[in-house]
Every structure is written in structure tokens, then in C-alpha cells.
Chain A
């Protein structure tokens, strides 16, 4: 199954014993990412000086994440591979222009997202347009409110969860999917997401809200208590 290679749930960190996190308490996700290791800037500096091994180390470090990104955007393995390959080649060719005002990984994600978007637009010219205004408020009110139980993700094995996530994200419309992937999977900021997609910050926020609500709706089918289908 093509999409099954995309997303795999991580082992989740449990809250400290005696300090359960109340489900409705704010839990900001925009913490500094742990993707970039401390030595990233050293590898980038060496690669800029022409150290090919340093650049290969950067590729080894990020290739799986970049492939996940390009697959999640294009939903086509051939396009995803081409986009990933071109992203690494372009990042190498333009490394001297990288100003290091952001993390190398973030810069790489921007390049890869653009490569993937270019291929998505080419393959689905009539289905993907970030210029289209999103619908009004009337579509926002959630339907099918059913209890998911205390920890639905623990009811599924890793591979099952992996397939569920792939299936629901595959069904999300491309213009919502790309915003969700950049913001919630790759953890770019709202501003970075807007910059990559060439749309305004309010447009990112509006699409993100709809993407999250639509995905919640789709997950309801699997997560509702008492049934897996």
C-alpha cells in the first residue's frame, strides 16, 4: 500500500506519574523543534567549505523526513522521490546563499515543499489552488460528536495507526493538506508556512483550522469508542 509508508506513530511520552495532563488544558505545540542536532551548524559550515562528507551526513540525517514531507504533499511516490532528490541537489547548489538566519533543516523543508508543490500543481492543476478563498463559517461546526475514550491511540498497534493516519490525510483536499503537513507534521511556524506557500498568515490559519477539524471528523470513524470501523 503506497500511502502506508508515510506516517508511523512515535512512541508517545507519558505524563509524569501523578501529573496527568488534563485533556482540555492548553498544550502549545510550537516548542523549539528537536529535529536539528547541536552540530548541524558545524556540518553546514564544513559543507559550505566544500566538505562533501559533511553534506552527505546532512542528507543521511534528513532524507527520511524530507521524503515523508514530499510524499505527504504529492501523494505520489515518483513525484515525491523526484522532489526530494531535486531538493537536496538544489540545497547543495545554493548552500553558499544559505544565510543561517534559520535552521538548515527549515531552509531544506522550504525548498522540498516548493519542489513537491510544483509537482502537485502539475499533476492536479484543477484540484489544487491556494488562491481559492476558503468557505464561510457555516461549514465549521463539527458533526458526529462521539466519545473517543481516554486514549484511542493506545487501542491500535503501530502499524494500524500508521495506516489510519495515512488514509485520513490522503483524503484531505490538497490545499488543506499542505498547510496541515507543513504546520503540524513538519512544525513550521505559521509565518514560515505562509512564506513557503505564498499566502497570508490569516489564510494559513483559516486553512489549518479547517484541516484540523476535517481530520478530527475523519479520525472519528476509527477512534470512536466501541468500534474501529
Chain B
């Protein structure tokens, strides 16, 4: 497996979706290729920082408009 093959498999690797033989081959490459190891680590960290991001509170005006619209809808349905 060369560097280009590693990059092509990076997503499946960090998602744990590679078949065992390919995963082992990729990890053998990482043992001696510092550049690929850095790309793998940084790509995983990239996913982690976004994956761990949380929504902030809904702005007050947006929330009131949403709930007003919902109440109108719920009221219309029940009457």
C-alpha cells in the first residue's frame, strides 16, 4: 500500500469500516510513514472537533417565532 492508497482509505479507516486485511496493511504503512500518520491523526481530529461540537441555545427571537407558528398550527388542528 502506498501513500495514495492510504489517503483513499482514510475515511473508512477512521470510521473503523475497513476489512481486517486492508486495515492491517494500512497500519503497516503508518508504522514507517510519518507523513501519512500525521494526515490520519489530523483528519481524525478534524472529525472529532466537529463531531463533538454542540448547538448553542436557540436565539430568543427565533425560538418565539417557532413556537408562535407551532401554536397557530396546533390550535388550527384542534379547532
Chain B binds chain A: yes
Give A contacts to B, CB under 8 Å.
Answer: 5, 7-10, 12, 23-24, 26-30, 50, 52, 55-56, 59, 63-65, 67-68, 81, 84-85, 88-89, 92-93, 137, 140-142, 145, 147-148, 152-153, 161, 165, 169, 180, 184-185, 187, 205, 208-209, 212-213, 215-216, 219-220, 223
Whether the pair B63, A212 counts as a contact (CB closer than 8 A) is: no
Whether the pair B39, A145 counts as a contact (CB closer than 8 A) is: yes
A153 contacts across to B, CB distance below 8 A = 45, 49
Give B contacts to A, CB under 8 Å.
Answer: 3-4, 7-8, 10-17, 23, 27, 30, 35, 37-59, 62-63, 65-67, 69-70, 73-74, 77-78
> DSSP class of B's interface residues: helix, strand, loop or mixed?
helix
> DSSP class of A's interface residues: helix, strand, loop or mixed?
helix
Whether the pair A65, B16 counts as a contact (CB closer than 8 A) is: no
Distance of B5 from chain A, by nearest CB (Å): 10
Distance of B55 from chain A, by nearest CB (Å): 4
Q: Quick one: given A26-B14, A28-B15, are A140 and B7 in contact (CB under 8 Å)?
A: yes
Distance of A112 from chain B, by nearest CB (Å): 12
| Chain B residue at minimum C-beta to C-beta distance from A59 | B70
Whether the pair A10, B54 counts as a contact (CB closer than 8 A) is: yes
